């Protein structure tokens, strides 16, 4: 089985991971940090706003069961891509909306989806999601991995996207 990787930042990584883990074809998820300048950052480092990292979920998926396009569509449904450095009550650059692409095809899909949604009139404000090349992914501390599952919590800490309709 040839698995592919997708990496998304959409606010608090606990909720993003919990939602993507439910998708048939997603084989594994891990939360961590991506897009900053510090090597092996800790949660405390990232929360200092000095590393530049985003909280992300890295997804390993079977493209014969779920496509990258489907994952990007889910990403845009999970959070508000129109708020800069914020998701609900979580504020800071680590909560930014970002797609880290790992191939030209992933870049094309993410950019086309952002453009399509931006022109759709579904959102009250412009989409501010960053679409940038994948860089080193640093796994978060073990206590962050599968947080909801470990704590017997159902649901998610995510707010759905506020649409005009």
Catalytic positions, written as ranges? 12
**Cβ atoms of 51 and 37 closer than 8 Å:** yes
- The CA–CA distances, whole Å, from 108 to 20, 33, 165 equal 21, 23, 27
The torsion of the CA quartet 76, 97, 155, 90, rounded to 10 degrees, works out to -150
């Amino acid at each position: 089985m040839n698995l592919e990787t997708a990496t998304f930042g959409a606010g608090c990584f606990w909720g993003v991971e919990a939602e993507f883990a439910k998708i048939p074809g997603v084989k594994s998820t891990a939360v961590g940090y991506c897009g900053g300048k510090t090597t092996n950052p800790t949660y405390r480092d990232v929360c200092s706003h000095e590393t530049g990292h985003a909280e992300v979920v890295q997804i390993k998926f079977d493209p014969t069961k779920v496509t990258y396009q489907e994952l990007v569509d889910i990403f845009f449904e999970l959070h508000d891509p129109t708020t800069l450095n914020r998701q609900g009550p979580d504020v800071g650059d680590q909560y930014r909306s970002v797609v880290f692409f790992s191939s030209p095809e992933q870049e094309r899909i993410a950019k086309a989806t952002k453009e399509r949604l931006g022109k759709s009139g579904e959102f009250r404000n412009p989409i501010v999601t960053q679409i940038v090349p994948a860089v080193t992914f640093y796994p978060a501390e073990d206590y962050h991995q599968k947080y909801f599952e470990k704590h017997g919590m159902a649901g998610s800490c995510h707010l759905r996207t506020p649409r005009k309709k």
